[in-house]
Amino acid sequence: MSFLKISENVFWIGKVDDRKVPFHRLILERGTTYNSYLLLTDKPTVIDTVDLMYGKEYMDNLAKLIDPQEIEYIVINHVEPDHAGALPALAAKAKKAKIVSTALGAALLKDMFKLHNREFIVVSDGDTLDIGGEVLQFFETPYLHTEETMITYSTEDRVLYPCDLFSTHIATYELFNDLAEETEYLEDFKVYYNLIMSPHRPYVRDMLDKIKDLDIKMIAPSHGYILRKDPGKFIKIYDEMSYLKPTDKKVLIVYSTMTGNTTKIAQRLSEGLKAVGVESEIFNLKNTDWEELKAKISDCDGLLVGSSTKYGDMVGAVEEFLKSLQDGDFKGKPAAAFGSYGWSGEAIMYIEDYLKEAGFKVINQRYMIAGQGVDTPILPLRIKFVKEDGLEKADTAGRVFGEQVLVNA
């Protein structure tokens, strides 16, 4: 199948990949589709492309509908290779096309594909682009599921092009959801949400807020079924799956400090936790009954352990206290390390080692890279000399850790 008309002047020009597709350390048993769209307006526009390995086939199919030299805009919602992979092939033929993306998206595309000499249009939240007979509107959707991502809405045609959102990994040739039984795809739609989007739940809530007033006739995502029948139902499913009911989860924050900076971090972590609905209690080990504290740790839903660094090591009673936890039953309980520092800041490494040995599920850099695609991981949290920008980081770290506690069943 080389193309399919999905609306007046709008064509699906994607690729159905019916292999078992390796993806994010999973195997997509039912394959997937890479949905690219051509809007044949006065200023022809392509929205996203297909996977890197199908560039030639993609260009051959596109040429059946339009001379690529006539394309004026290429919108790239997301830079992962299953969306932007065929951009070099397309850009080489669509020589005058301007590439439309977020600021971060544009920077990444230039570096990834050596497109420094191409003209880019950088868009931000709510910006519009008149493509002649249609006006596109863009919404930034960071971390859904990587930092540079955006979504596109055609205001005349009322089609939402939400990139990875509202997708399913199924290699369907039918493409429209009204041509399939709901049982064919609904479970996959929810599994997709849980695997790809749920780690970024707060950002899903932001996205839902941004699209809540749009009149959406059809959702044309990047993978799987185009949701022509009842698109509102699928938005509601995302709403239900991303909504967290109030909980009684509680985190303990335990620390030792040299100058009081680690105390300030503990307080801001607590505020971050509170912002996502998680209560906390703070303990300075110097003034605490350890036996009572250990009993509380057994009952709590997460633990944050902090220390300043002095001479490359933890301070106060932190090490002794962590040793005393080694015979407890903390398997799978989320935990993370934090601390202030002036020169080196090794304390967080040693805290993590003890937490792992005691059986805690340590939320750390490795998780952050995998879950959010961030360049600067926030946990373990290490702040130099603790100024206001550092404390803002502590607030964010509290929120991130709180999210982990909330989803830790």
> Please, what is the minimum distance in Å from the beta carbon of residue 160 to ligand FEO?
16
Residues 155-184: x where in contact with ligand FEO by CB under 6 A, - otherwise, as a string: ---------x--------------------
**Residue matched to tokens 């995302």:** 238
> Please, what is the minimum distance in Å from the beta carbon of residue 186 to ligand FEO?
20
24 is catalytic: yes
311 is catalytic: no
Quickly count: other Cβ atoms within 10 Å of residue 389's Cβ: 8
> Please, what is the minimum distance in Å from the beta carbon of residue 149 to ligand FEO?
8
Q: Which is nearer to ligand FEO, 368 or 394 (CB)?
A: 368
Residues 27-56: x where in contact with ligand FEO by CB under 6 A, - otherwise, as a string: ------------------------------
> Please, what is the minimum distance in Å from the beta carbon of residue 83 to ligand FEO?
6
116 is catalytic: no
Up-side HSE of residue 365: CA atoms within 13 Å toward CB?
Answer: 10
**Residue matched to tokens 């504290």:** 293
Q: Which is nearer to ligand FEO, 83 or 228 (CB)?
A: 83
Q: Which is nearer to ligand FEO, 63 or 370 (CB)?
A: 370
Quickly count: other Cβ atoms within 10 Å of residue 353's Cβ: 13
- Residues 145, 238, 341, 350: which is the catalytic one? 145
> Please, what is the minimum distance in Å from the beta carbon of residue 81 to ligand FEO?
8
- Residues 82, 134, 147, 346: which is the catalytic one? 82
> Please, what is the minimum distance in Å from the beta carbon of residue 208 to ligand FEO?
19
367 is catalytic: no
| DSSP character at residue 97 | P
Quickly count: other Cβ atoms within 10 Å of residue 328's Cβ: 15
Report whether 275 contacts 325 (CB < 8 A).
Answer: no
> What is the size of the binding site for ligand FEO (CB under 6 A)?
8
Q: What is the largest CA-CA distance in the chain?
A: 76
- Residues 143, 192, 225, 238: which is the catalytic one? 192
Report whether 105 contacts 151 (CB < 8 A).
Answer: no
Among 168, 12, 151, smallest CA distance to 76 is for: 151
Task: Name residues whose C-beta falls within 8 Å of residue 117's C-beta, 6 or more positions apart in sequence.
Answer: none
Q: Which is nearer to ligand FEO, 87 or 405 (CB)?
A: 87
| Per CB under 6 A, 222 contacts ligand FEO | yes
- Residues 300 to 339 in contact with ligand FEO, rule: CB under 6 A: none
- Residues 77 to 96 in contact with ligand FEO, rule: CB under 6 A: 78, 80, 82-83
200 is catalytic: no
Question: Is 393 strand, coil or helix?
Answer: helix
The CB-nearest residue to ligand FEO is 80
- Residues 83, 169, 200, 223: which is the catalytic one? 223
399-to-192, 251, 402 alpha-carbon distances in Å: 24, 12, 5
Q: Which is nearer to ligand FEO, 51 or 403 (CB)?
A: 51
Burial of 123 (0-12, 13-18, 19+ CB in 10 A): buried
Q: DSSP assignment of 146-169, as one string?
A: STT-EEEEETTTTEEE-TTTT---
Q: DSSP assignment of 53-77, as one string?
A: GGHHHHHHHHTTT--GGG--EEE-S
> Please, what is the minimum distance in Å from the beta carbon of residue 295 to ligand FEO?
44
Report whether 121 contacts 73 (CB < 8 A).
Answer: yes
| DSSP character at residue 92 | H
Task: Name residues whose C-beta falls within 8 Å of residue 157's C-beta, 6 or more positions apart in sequence.
Answer: 7, 8, 9, 10, 134, 217
| DSSP character at residue 246 | P
Q: Which is nearer to ligand FEO, 38 or 196 (CB)?
A: 196
Q: Which is nearer to ligand FEO, 80 or 301 (CB)?
A: 80
Q: Which is nearer to ligand FEO, 14 or 398 (CB)?
A: 14
- Residues 51, 134, 140, 164: which is the catalytic one? 164
Interface residue list for ligand FEO (CB under 6 A)? 78, 80, 82-83, 145, 164, 222-223
Active site residues: 24, 78, 80, 82, 145, 164, 192, 223
